[in-house]
A and B are shown apart, each in its own frame.
Chain A
Amino acid sequence: MSRVIWRERLDSTMTEAARLAAEGIPNGTVVAARMQTAGQGRQGREWLSASGDGLYCTFILRLAEVPAITLALGLAVVEALTPIVGSGLDIRWPNDVLWQGKKLCGILARLEHGVVLAGIGINLNQLQFPPGLRTPATSLRLATSKTFDAEEVLNQLLGPVDQATQLNREEILRLFAQTSSYVSGRRVRVDLDGSILEGVTDGLDEFGFLRIRKENGARETVYAGSVRPLK
């Protein structure tokens, strides 16, 4: 059973979760904030976190094993949001949750002193987004024409996250391949923090890494980096 700690305002739920984890707070605790002043994205990028716009939370997970945990978290978000938006959800490897090709949710996890800090940001009530985002974004409101309360959405997420963290790696990879259109046959460009790789996705390897087949037939495995669709 998850315990949720709500704060009006934090610099980042990741920072607060790290502090609480260091104090020994139990597995399954969730830190959530109405707004963040320094929401964290990958590679030092900012996650926009205005009050009321989104759900900003970090799950503190003490797991015996960490098999493909970030893939499992994307599955949990899809599970939680499917009753809200219906069809049209997709996961872009490893774990950006998209609705009709636009980013609805970002997930970023840290393994720190043996504890997984799983940050999840879900766009709820935005009607527009600032220009210059790396991926076009959307929100639950844009998807459904309704407004959402962060606490209600988080409550819907607790069960799916709990279940997803109990899956073994084979189950996670099988479910991921069923859920994500990016696993195979998708033409993509991968930004490997400097170099660019282009090709067609060719399944996951046994650990959950994304295999890419290049035009010359060579295969590469992607461990990290940003995957973007190519027309």
Chain B
Amino acid sequence: MNIEEIKELIQLANDTGVAELEVQRGEHRVRIQRAVAQREVVLPAAAPVAVAAAPAVLAAAAPALAPAEKDNLYTVKSPIVGTFYEAASPDAAPFVKPGDSVMAKTTVCIIESMKLMNEIEAEVSGTIVARLVENGKPVEYGEALFTIRPN
């Protein structure tokens, strides 16, 4: 991965409005966080990391957004530390997926913390743009979970 590619990724993050993205090519991994106006570059990756979500985020977000819209996205953040679940059970359909319309009270995911299933609400009505966390992965306090384009 060269500096031009990293610049492109930063530009892409800015254009699409994603809070954070992480991409791995071979042994190289780059993570870009927009929310804190910080660019963190880690080379090479210490271990394989899961980045499957990042391309999906971009694919979902990029075509839908004009630059003027980028600052209007709402980010749903985790209120607690726990494990992210996209569905009520392993066999159930996800609560929401990109493109779905949601109301403020719509449940978008569960964060499990010590067998307390925290149902996370969209908080705004609009359209789901991207899911930013992989199913079953731990999340930190304040970690971005979804972006929503409010209506």
Residues on A lying within 8 angstroms of B by beta carbon are: 42-45, 66, 68-71, 93-95, 107-113, 116, 192-194, 207-209, 223-225
In the complex, which residues 95-137 of chain B have their Cβ closer than 8 Å to any Cβ of chain A?
Answer: 105, 112-119, 121, 136
With a CB–CB cut-off of 8 A, which chain A residues contact B116?
Answer: 66, 69-70, 109-111, 116
Closest 5 CB pairs between A and B?
A: A44-B89, A94-B114, A224-B112, A224-B83, A111-B118
Contact (Cβ within 8 A) B115 A223: no
Of all chain B residues, the one with the shortest Cβ separation from A69 is: B116
Number of interface residues, chain B, beta carbon within 8 A = 20
With a CB–CB cut-off of 8 A, which chain B residues contact A43?
Answer: 89-90
CA distance A143 to B127 in the complex (A): 54
With a CB–CB cut-off of 8 A, which chain A residues contact B117?
Answer: 108-111
Contact (Cβ within 8 A) A207 B83: no
Of all chain A residues, the one with the shortest Cβ separation from B81 is: A223
Is B88 engaged at the interface, CB distance under 8 Å to the other chain?
yes
Contact (Cβ within 8 A) A113 B92: no
With a CB–CB cut-off of 8 A, which chain B residues contact A208?
Answer: 114
Residues on B lying within 8 angstroms of A by beta carbon are: 81-83, 88-92, 105, 112-119, 121, 136, 138
With a CB–CB cut-off of 8 A, which chain A residues contact B119?
Answer: 110-113
Q: How far is the CB of A54 from chain B (nearest CB, A)?
A: 18
With a CB–CB cut-off of 8 A, which chain B residues contact A110?
Answer: 116-119
Q: A193-B83, A193-B90, A224-B114 given. 19 additional CB < 8 A pairs?
A: A43-B89, A44-B91, A45-B89, A66-B116, A70-B114, A94-B114, A110-B117, A110-B119, A111-B119, A112-B119, A113-B119, A192-B136, A193-B136, A194-B136, A208-B114, A223-B81, A223-B114, A224-B82, A224-B83
Contact (Cβ within 8 A) B105 A113: yes
With a CB–CB cut-off of 8 A, which chain A residues contact B81?
Answer: 207, 209, 223
Q: How far is the CB of B92 from chain A (nearest CB, A)?
A: 7
CA distance A69 to B118 in the complex (A): 12
Contact (Cβ within 8 A) A70 B91: no
With a CB–CB cut-off of 8 A, which chain B residues contact A192?
Answer: 83, 136
With a CB–CB cut-off of 8 A, which chain B residues contact A66?
Answer: 116
Q: How far is the CB of B75 from chain A (nearest CB, A)?
A: 20
